[in-house]
Structure formats: structure tokens, C-alpha cells
């Protein structure tokens, strides 16, 4: 959780400071300065999502420092939903193919988080019941 949080916060900062770098990292082609049409609010949306990523990253780091397992559990279904929505956006051609990486990142993070929680729960159960006498 802490690693995801640090990465999300760092990418949020990159998006705020150098939006073209973030677009390139996602496999999207930035539009040169002065090349946007009037009414193109791409940079406004990129600023909003970058700020959200920065905030979310901080939340994840704080939750990790507090070992807030309930928060970790809550993230799994919502990150899977994010994966599904972002993947569907690419399939429906509402988003460019480079955007699939964002969906895969969320899906991978959800699966890893869910697996880690499951493994830790199993280990805690085993420890609570004591050694098996087989």
C-alpha cells in the first residue's frame, strides 16, 4: 500500500508540474503548446486527476503507516471497478489504447492487495489455532 501510495503521489506531482511528461509516460501523445483548440479542457482535467492522484497517494501512505486493514480491503473492489471502467473505455474507443496501462495498474494492484490480505488472514488464523498435530 505504501509503495502504491508513493507512486500515485509522485505521478500526481509529475502531472501537476509537467503534464506532458505524464501523458508520455501513459503512452499518450502530448499536444504542443498552442496546439489545443479553443474549449479544449484536457489540461484542466489532467490537473484535476493529478491532484486526485497526489491526494490518493497520501491517503494510501497514511493508511499503510497506520496499518489500516479495513481501508486496504475497501480498495480491492473499487480498484477492480476502476480497472474494468478504464479497460471498457479503451475497448469502446472513448480512450486511447495507451490508457489501458492505467486500468492494468489498478487491476494488478487490486489483485496483489487482495492476495496479500488473504495470505495474512490465513497466517493469522493458523497462528491463532496453534500448531497442527498431525
Spatial separation of the C-alpha atoms in residues 112 and 1, rounded to whole Å:
10
63 CB-side CA count, 13 A: 20
pLDDT at 134 over 60: no
- The Cα 70–Cα 75 span in angstroms is 9
Q: Which three cell numbers stand for residue 9?
A: 503521489
Phi-psi region of 28 (alpha: psi -120 to 50; beta: other; left: phi over 0): beta
Mean pLDDT of 63-77: 95
Q: Report whether pLDDT(133) > 60.
A: no
Q: Is 128's pLDDT higher than 60?
A: yes
Query: What's residue 132's pLDDT?
Result: 60
Give the mean pLDDT of 110-119: 94
Cα–Cα distance, 27 to 8 (Å, whole number)? 17
What percentage of the chain carries pLDDT values higher than 90? 61
Entry pTM: 0.78
Q: Where are the domains positioned within the chain?
A: 1-67, 68-129
Amino acid at each position: 500500500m505504501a509503495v502504491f501510495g508513493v507512486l500515485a503521489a509522485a505521478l500526481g506531482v509529475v502531472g501537476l508540474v509537467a503534464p506532458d511528461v505524464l501523458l508520455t509516460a501513459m503512452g499518450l501523445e502530448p499536444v504542443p503548446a498552442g496546439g489545443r483548440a479553443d474549449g479544449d479542457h484536457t489540461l484542466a482535467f489532467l490537473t484535476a486527476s493529478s491532484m486526485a492522484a497526489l491526494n490518493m497517494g497520501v491517503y494510501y501512505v497514511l493508511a499503510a503507516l497506520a496499518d489500516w486493514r479495513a481501508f486496504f480491503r475497501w480498495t480491492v473492489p473499487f480498484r477492480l471497478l476502476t480497472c474494468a471502467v478504464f479497460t471498457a473505455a479503451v475497448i469502446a474507443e472513448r480512450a486511447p489504447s495507451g490508457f489501458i496501462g492505467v486500468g492494468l495498474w489498478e487491476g494488478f494492484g487490486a489483485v496483489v492487495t487482495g492476495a496479500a490480505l488473504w495470505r495474512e488472514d490465513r497466517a493469522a488464523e493458523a497462528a491463532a489455532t496453534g500448531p497442527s498435530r498431525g
